Amino acid sequence: MRLFLVIALAALTGCSLFRSSPTDAPLPKQPDAPTTPSVVQTLGKDLDKTDHRVASALVAIERNADKPKVVVAESRLAQSYLPAPPEADVAFSMARAAKADPVDYARQMAFGRQLATAVTKAWEKLEADQAEAKRVSGLKDKRIEDLTAEVIRVKQEASNNIWTLTGAGLAVIGALATAFMGPRIGLPLLLCGAFCGSVPFIIDSPYFEYIAGGTLLICSGLGLWWLADKVRDSVNKPHEDVPPQA
């Protein structure tokens, strides 16, 4: 019986290691796509706001061409929404203004519209690519979760098989011991085999913590009782060097 209690205590204590093994911890979540939807949307709104403010200032300049002060003020306001242009581009624009060729202006306007259209299409493609990257990232996260769950299941199944084979082996040895050496030796082995075979069911039980805690409490109580009994026997045992009373 003592052998059975020792095996029970060791098994229940070790089972907690199988349940809380560090390798069973879930993998960290894969980071989101480099550009999240919120960042793209916020940046797009800011760019649209900048473009609209610049375009509105240019419309005000056109409609107030006869008011030099308004033209200068609106021009400076429009420039505040844009990065400082390179000097080469400034020189190019000054040469165009000095020439004031309607054909040149028409050609530059056509180029500007094409460039604006290309930028709009590129931005739409960026949003689509980002959405696809987000979708693929989600699929990868799901795949990682599935693989992690599969690894945990395989490890748990291997642990259960070990306990089952151990129980079966002890049962066979216990049966042989009972047949050839008597039940005094064989029955404890049979009980140990039955216990080992039931360990996987105990681990998977929602009451595992209560079972383990109860077993440890009982074993601790038995140990304290045994220690108290030994101390009491030692105190009550008569000393050999004390002569008996006449």
Q: What is the pLDDT of residues 111-125, one digit of tens each?
A: 888 988 998 898 888
How many other C-beta atoms can be found within 10 angstroms of the C-beta atom of residue 175? 14
What percent of the chain has a predicted confidence (pLDDT) above 90? Answer: 7
Q: Output the pLDDT for position 59.
A: 92
How many other C-beta atoms can be found within 10 angstroms of the C-beta atom of residue 22? 6
CB-hemisphere CA count at 13 Å for 135? 6
Two tokens at 17? 């290691």
Q: Is the pLDDT of residue 21 over 50?
A: no
**Average pLDDT for the chain:** 77
Task: Read off the pLDDT of each residue in 8-22 and give the average, rounded to a whole number.
Answer: 44
Alpha helices in the chain (DSSP H): 2-19, 37-63, 68-80, 87-99, 102-181, 183-204, 208-236
Task: Read off the pLDDT of each residue in 202-211 and give the average, rounded to a whole number.
Answer: 72
Structure confidence by residue, pLDDT tens digits, 60-76: 988 998 999 999 999 89
Comparing 177 with 35, the larger pLDDT belongs to 177
Domain boundaries, the chain: 2-29+149-234, 37-140
Structure confidence by residue, pLDDT tens digits, 41-62: 777 788 888 888 888 988 998 8
Question: Cβ contacts of residue 70 below 8 Å, gap of 6+?
Answer: 60, 61, 64
Please, which pLDDT band fits residue 110 given cuts at 50, 70 and 90?
very high
Cα 1 to Cα 64: distance, rounded to the nearest angstrom: 105
Please, which pLDDT band fits residue 36 given cuts at 50, 70 and 90?
low
SS3 string of 26-47? Answer: CCCCCCCCCCCHHHHHHHHHHH
Residue 237's SS3 state is: coil
Q: Output the pLDDT for position 201.
A: 74
Residue 206's SS3 state is: coil
Residue 23's SS3 state is: helix
Highest-pLDDT range among 143-157, 177-191, 205-219: 143-157
C-alpha distances in Å from residue 196, one per residue of 167, 207, 214: 5, 17, 18
Task: Read off the pLDDT of each residue in 166-182 and give the average, rounded to a whole number.
Answer: 83
What percent of the chain has a predicted confidence (pLDDT) above 70? Answer: 78
Could you identify the residue written with the tokens 């979540």?
Answer: 29
Cα 194 to Cα 176: distance, rounded to the nearest angstrom: 15
Cα 87 to Cα 160: distance, rounded to the nearest angstrom: 76
